[in-house]
Structure 1
Amino acid sequence: MKLEHIDTPAALIDIPRMQKNIARMQGHMNALGVAFRPHVKTTKCIDVVRAQIAAGARGITVSTIKEAEAFFAAGVSDILYAVSIAPSKLPRALALRRQGCDLKLVVDNPTAAAAIAAFADQHGESFEVWIEVDTDGHRSGITPEQDTLLEVGRILHENGVKVGGVMTHAGSSYELHTPEALAALAEQERAGCVRAAQRLRDAGIPCPAVSVGSTPTALAAEQLDGVTEVRAGVYVFFDLVMHNVGVCSLEDIALSVLATVIGHQADKGWAILDAGWMAMSRDRGTSKQSHDFGYGQPCLLNGTPLGGFVVSGANQEHGILSSSEDGAPVDDIAQRFPIGMKLRILPNHACATGAQFPEYHAVSADGRSIEWRRFQGW
Structure 2
Amino acid sequence: MLNITIPTLLLDRKRCLRNIEKMAEKAKLSGAQLRPHLKTSQSLGVAAWFESFGVSAVTVSSLRMAKYFADGGWSDITVAFPVNILEAPLIETLATNVRLNILVESTESLIYLGEHIHNPVNVFIKIDIGYHRTGVAYQDVTKIEAILDTLASYRFFQFKGFLTHAGHTYKITSAEEAQHIYKNHLAALTQLKNQFAKNYPDLILSYGDTPSCSMLEKLEGVDELRAGNFVFYDLMQYQIGACRLEDIAVAVACPVVALHPERSEIVVYGGGVHFSKDQLLHPNGHVYYGRVVTLDNDTWHIPAQESYMKSLSQEHGIIKASPDLMAKTKVGDILAVLPVHSCMTADLMPYYQTLDGERIDIWDKK
1:371 alignment partner in structure 2: 359
1:174 alignment partner in structure 2: 170
Aligned with residue 39 of structure 1, among 17, 37, 40:
37
Is the contact made by 1:106 and 1:129 (CA closer than 8 Å) also made in structure 2? yes
Instruction: Assess, with a 3 A threshold, how the Cα gap between structure 1 residues 290 and 137 changes in structure 2: closer, same or farther.
Output: farther
Q: Which moved more, 1:295-304 or 1:335-344?
A: 335-344
Query: How many angstroms apart in 2 are the aligned matches of 1:321 and 1:231?
Result: 35
Instruction: Assess, with a 3 A threshold, how the Cα gap between structure 1 residues 114 and 179 changes in structure 2: closer, same or farther.
Output: same
* Within-5 A mapping of 1:140-155: 140-146=134-140, 147-155=142-150
Which SS does the other structure have where 2:295 is aligned?
coil
1:237 paired with 2:232, answer yes
Aligned with residue 76 of structure 1, among 63, 74, 77:
74
1:248 paired with 2:248, answer no
1:97 alignment partner in structure 2: 95
Shift of 1:376: 3.4
* Within-5 A mapping of 1:53-202: 53-98=51-96, 100-120=97-117, 124-146=118-140, 147-160=142-155, 161-202=157-198
Shift of 1:289: 7.4
% identity of equivalent residues = 26
RMSD: 2.0
- How many residues align? The count is 360
Q: Which amino acid aligns with 1:176?
A: I
Q: Deviations over 1:171-221 (max 9, x none)?
A: 10010011111111122222222323333335x345522100101111234
Is the contact made by 2:282 and 2:288 (CA closer than 8 Å) also made in structure 1? no
Which SS does the other structure have where 2:103 is aligned?
strand
Q: Which moved more, 1:13-22 or 1:180-189?
A: 180-189
Query: How many angstroms apart in 2 are the aligned matches of 1:345 and 1:231?
Result: 27
Query: How many angstroms apart in 2 are the aligned matches of 1:224 and 1:319?
Result: 40
1:357 alignment partner in structure 2: 349
TM-score by length of 1: 0.90
Which SS does the other structure have where 1:181 is aligned?
helix
Shift of 1:109: 1.6
1:346 paired with 2:338, answer yes
1:318 alignment partner in structure 2: 316
Is the contact made by 1:297 and 1:305 (CA closer than 8 Å) also made in structure 2? no
Shift of 1:108: 1.2
Query: How many angstroms apart in 2 are the aligned matches of 1:119 and 1:201?
Result: 29
Structure showing the higher strand proportion among its residues: 2
Q: Which amino acid aligns with 2:266?
A: A
1:327 alignment partner in structure 2: none
Shift of 1:321: 0.8
Aligned with residue 13 of structure 2, among 3, 15, 24:
15
Q: Deviations over 1:150-169 (max 9, x none)?
A: 21111102333211111111
Q: Which runs of 5+ in 2 are unaligned?
A: none
Shift of 1:126: 2.9
Query: How many angstroms apart in 2 are the aligned matches of 1:374 and 1:228?
Result: 30
Is the contact made by 2:213 and 2:219 (CA closer than 8 Å) also made in structure 1? no
Q: Deviations over 1:31-77 (max 9, x none)?
A: 11111000000001111111112112230000011211111111100
Shift of 1:136: 2.1
Query: How many angstroms apart in 1 are the aligned matches of 2:190 and 2:53?
Result: 27
Q: Which amino acid aligns with 1:106?
A: L
Q: Which moved more, 1:175-184 or 1:106-115?
A: 106-115
Q: Deviations over 1:227-258 (max 9, x none)?
A: 21110100000000000110111111001000
2:48 alignment partner in structure 1: 50
Q: Deviations over 1:99-148 (max 9, x none)?
A: x211111111221122222223xxx3332111111122241111221021
Q: Which runs of 5+ in 1 are unaligned?
A: 325-329
